[in-house]
Amino acid sequence: MDRRELLRNLSIATAGVAAFSCRDRAEAERLAADGALARGEGNPDVTWDKAPCRYCGTGCGVLVGVQDGKVVAAQGDPASPVNRGLLCVKGYHLPGFLYGEDRLLYPQRRGADGTLQRISWDEALDLIAEKFGDALRDHGPESVAVYGSGQWTVFDGYAALKWVKGGMRSNNLDPNARLCMASAVVGFMTQFGSDEPMGCYEDFEAGDDFVLWGNNMAEMHPVLFSRILEHKRQNPGVRIVDIATRQTPTTDYADLFVPVKPNGDLALANGILHVLVRDGMVDRSFVEENCVLRRGIEDLDAIGFGVGGEAGERYGFKDEPRESSWDELVEFLADYTPERVAELAGVPARQVEVLAELYGARDRGTVSLWCMGVNQHVRGTWMNNLITDLHLVTGKIGRPGNNPFSLTGQPSACGTAREVGTLAHRLPADLAVTVPEHRARAEEIWGLEPGTIDPKPGYHAVDMFRALSRGDVKAMWIQTTNPWVSMPNLARFERKPGDGSFVVVSDIYPTPTTDVADLVLPAAAWVEREGMFGNSERRTQHWNKMVEPPGEAREDAWQIVEVARRMGMGHLFPWEGDWHEAMYEEYRTFGLGIGKDLASYQELKETPGKLWPVVDGVETRYRYAAGYDPYVKKSKGVHFYKAKSYGERAAIWLRPWHPPAEVPDAEFPMWLSTGRILEHWHTGSMTRRVKELHQAAPEAYVELNRADAAELGIKDGDRVRVASRRGSIELPARVDGRGKPARGSVFVPFFDEHHLVNELTLDAMDNLSKEPDYKKAAVRVEPVGGKS
């Protein structure tokens, strides 16, 4: 049996049809037996191999078709339990993103005249080693920085982590994932002592009520949303609740739309808790057996938002947790009556009661889903805590169809940023640089002298760029991300190449970020190199190199390893030849035996991925749950065994409502929110080079509420100016487009480098995760004349 046959059999036997109804399962099995679901069937001249999708955190399995050394087609992988053969429009059009005519093909250094000049790889790597070496020698480890990505493969992230923390002895390593899911990380860590969700995508067929908190799932996680829609079609009692500041394509499918004001979600979650407690819809015995209560600093002035004054340069707010009690919770919640919540959140009081009934219904499974609306929030960690509180007080957690489920935006935000730990304070497998035993463990695995790793966390993403602007960071390497489009308040980070610092950018296409780089390196993309990603449901997925990269493009991890070797740090990467397996197996040792066990390299090569912890080859669909998680020795219920500091119980946090950092006023009277759309992924550097996607969504726009547009004399298609205290942009207006913002608010997608909405956003941050809030800024909108 060859590998492909093995995969096919495995998929049919174990994964393919796990959660369909009986009727559909029979049909799927019949089709599978017929060969209709066979992998890549149809054209014998095309070879097919599996890879996870390059884009969102859903992590759909893709069959990549290769002919004559080029990627020519893609199919959804029927063997992938994630998507079972379906993709979204971005996934189907993946092959095109590799072949834009302006691919970066060789290393280029910016000359004195400001243009990029081709140089050799040797020259480029020597130059990086020299610049980073100079900075270390003259200014110390605080002066070097690596800004990475939730799109880094596990290999890229691990190589960077080891080089920065174990080689350069700096902790200035942070990913763009800080901008998208750091609040979820801190949320899970503060409640369970371990990151990432306990459930898996099977929750989407097991639940009855799906509560979407600020989450336009129809566009952001389309394939997962289609699973919920299919489940609803087969089970008409299933309900979708859309809690949002704006109506989106998701709203069209919702049973209940709950309009909420910016930051009103904090009040709403507390209001739901209030009614649950008031009406006795809580599971006190679950709480007594499995939970502790905690409370932190709540004073608005003491916390701030990371803007203005000293906090506007380096924001290091730390919480001071203390023990709390159920009685204190009841007293705390007394303030959040449905009537007060109606005032603070703009949610009708009756809807607060309805949501409480839904969370409190013991006979219905409840899944809460969230992504950027909750995470990119000045109190994003608090919102994560509160959503999970709803599940803890009702005991609706760690069971199929009953879980708080945070979704990720990037393909390996979980696998690389969170699990490898490419964050300023982290090491692999939930270890932290601040904990002596954790540092010692890393030093032991890496064979380094005790005391090598610096105990002080480095710059988080926003502070890293502030430090670069100040001149405190002298050498910075940016890989697989486009911060000069995606950072908030872009004007703050304006840069002229040759300003005294040294910025290297590795990417596959020219972007506004390569435009300001001193050295540009061509990266191998997706299936042009071997890789691994980890998706939102803890699934690690491996893919093989399938085609040669164009020109002299090389994978990011190779670039880092080569520079480390030139800096005399070759002992960190002692492997000869192809080091992928050896590197991964070393990395994997961090999590073995502590509930973060990843599948072996060979297992991952042969399967459509596995959900960690993987013990004896068996994956874990539901963490902390008896009968599912091998670390739980109880015969029923849950055991939060990773939360050592809480006596292996989960923490219910008391978290109040706070206002946003900036609110509309007479000068800037409207709210601005930003985000993605279905066709484009992040800053559009890949998807805009795909003809079909560009032609579907060629330009950014500002969505307006119909009544606001009428009042401002703006019609659909008119050119308008949107201005904030930080900048202004001109772009076409959309009225009654795919999204409908609430009265007094507008929405602009961020994919378009010609209309940079981040010129307008504010660099205010979550107090605990330091994730910026891209969803709330005050703007003014005015017509400028002309049509688009």
- The residues binding ligand SF4 (CB under 6 A) are 53, 55-56, 58-60, 83, 87-88, 90-91, 221-223
Angle at 150 between CA 369 and CA 549, to 5 degrees: 130
Print burial letters for 640-670: b (CB count within 10 Å at least 16), e (below 16).
bbbbeebebbbbbbbbbbbebbbebeeebeb
Q: What would the DSSP string read from start to end of 411-460? A: TTIIIIIIIII-STTB-STT-BTTSHHHHHHHHHHHT--TT-S-SS----
- Whether 90 sits among the annotated catalytic residues: the reply is yes
Instruction: Report the residue number, 222 or 259, with the smaller CB distance to ligand SF4.
Output: 222
Q: How far is the CB of 64 from another protein (least distance, A)?
A: 11
Instruction: Report the residue number, 34 or 138, with the smaller CB distance to another protein.
Output: 34
Binds another protein by CB under 8 A, chosen from 7, 28, 433, 643: 28
**The one catalytic residue among 60, 88, 180, 414:** 180
Site string for another protein, 659-688 (x = CB under 8 A): -------------------xx----x---x
Q: How far is the CB of 452 from ligand SF4 (least distance, A)?
A: 38
Nearest Cα neighbor of 341 from 358, 326, 356, 361 is 356
Tell me how far CA of residue 54 lies from CA of 150, 505, 520, in angstroms: 11, 20, 22
Give the helix/strand (H/E) hosting 558. helix 556-566
| Span 36-65, contacts to another protein by CB under 8 A | 36-38, 40-46, 65
- Whether 181 sits among the annotated catalytic residues: the reply is yes
Instruction: Report the residue number, 56 or 161, with the smaller CB distance to ligand SF4.
Output: 56
- Whether 180 sits among the annotated catalytic residues: the reply is yes
Candidates 23-31, 183-191, 572-580, 779-787 — which segment interacts with another protein by CB under 8 A?
A: 23-31
Q: Which residues contact 495 (CB under 8 A, 6 or more apart)?
A: 468, 469, 484, 503, 516
Nearest Cα neighbor of 139 from 545, 510, 500 is 500
Site string for another protein, 94-113 (x = CB under 8 A): -xx-xxxxx-----------
Q: Bridge partners of 765?
A: 772
Tell me how far CA of residue 75 lies from CA of 40, 83, 362, in angstroms: 7, 11, 40
Q: How far is the CB of 223 from another protein (least distance, A)?
A: 8
Instruction: Report the residue number, 55 or 701, with the smaller CB distance to ligand SF4.
Output: 55
Q: How far is the CB of 467 from ligand SF4 (least distance, A)?
A: 33
Between CA 688 and CA 755 the distance in angstroms is 14
Query: Strand, helix or coil at 606?
Result: helix
- Select the binding partner of residue 771 from another protein, ligand SF4, none (C-beta < 5 to 8 A, by kind): none
Q: How far is the CB of 176 from another protein (least distance, A)?
A: 22
Instruction: Tell me: does residue 233 bind another protein (CB under 8 A).
Output: yes
Locate all alpha helices (DSSP H) within 107-181, ordered by sequence: 121-139, 154-161
Instruction: Report the residue number, 44 or 280, with the smaller CB distance to another protein.
Output: 44
Query: Strand, helix or coil at 11?
Result: helix
Candidates 104-112, 161-169, 215-223, 553-561 — which segment interacts with another protein by CB under 8 A?
A: 215-223
**The one catalytic residue among 53, 372, 414, 464:** 372
Q: Which two tokens stand for residue 751?
A: 């994919």
Instruction: Report the residue number, 59 or 404, with the smaller CB distance to ligand SF4.
Output: 59
Asked whether the beta carbons of 365 and 255 are under 8 A apart, the reply is no
Print burial letters for 714-750: b (CB count within 10 Å at least 16), e (below 16).
bebebbbebbbebbebebbbbbeebbbbbeebbbbbb
**The one catalytic residue among 148, 264, 306, 409:** 409
Give the helix/strand (H/E) hosting 327. helix 326-333
Asked whether the beta carbons of 420 and 587 are under 8 A apart, the reply is yes
Instruction: Tell me: does residue 27 bind another protein (CB under 8 A).
Output: yes
Binds another protein by CB under 8 A, chosen from 7, 20, 377, 735: 20
- Whether 168 sits among the annotated catalytic residues: the reply is no
**The one catalytic residue among 40, 59, 65, 90:** 90
Q: How many CA atoms lie within 13 A of 110 on its CB side?
A: 17
Pairing mode, strands 322-323 and 366-370: unpaired
Binds another protein by CB under 8 A, chosen from 2, 633, 695, 785: 695
- Whether 634 sits among the annotated catalytic residues: the reply is no
Candidates 87-95, 391-399, 428-436, 706-714 — which segment interacts with another protein by CB under 8 A?
A: 87-95
- Select the binding partner of residue 756 from another protein, ligand SF4, none (C-beta < 5 to 8 A, by kind): none
- Whether 596 sits among the annotated catalytic residues: the reply is no
Residues at the contact surface with another protein, assessed by CB under 8 A: 17, 20, 24, 27-28, 31, 34-38, 40-46, 65, 67, 70, 72-76, 84-89, 92-93, 95-96, 98-102, 218, 222-223, 225-227, 229-230, 232-233, 249, 252-253, 509, 678-679, 684, 688-698
By annotation, the residues acting in catalysis are: 90, 180-181, 372, 409-410
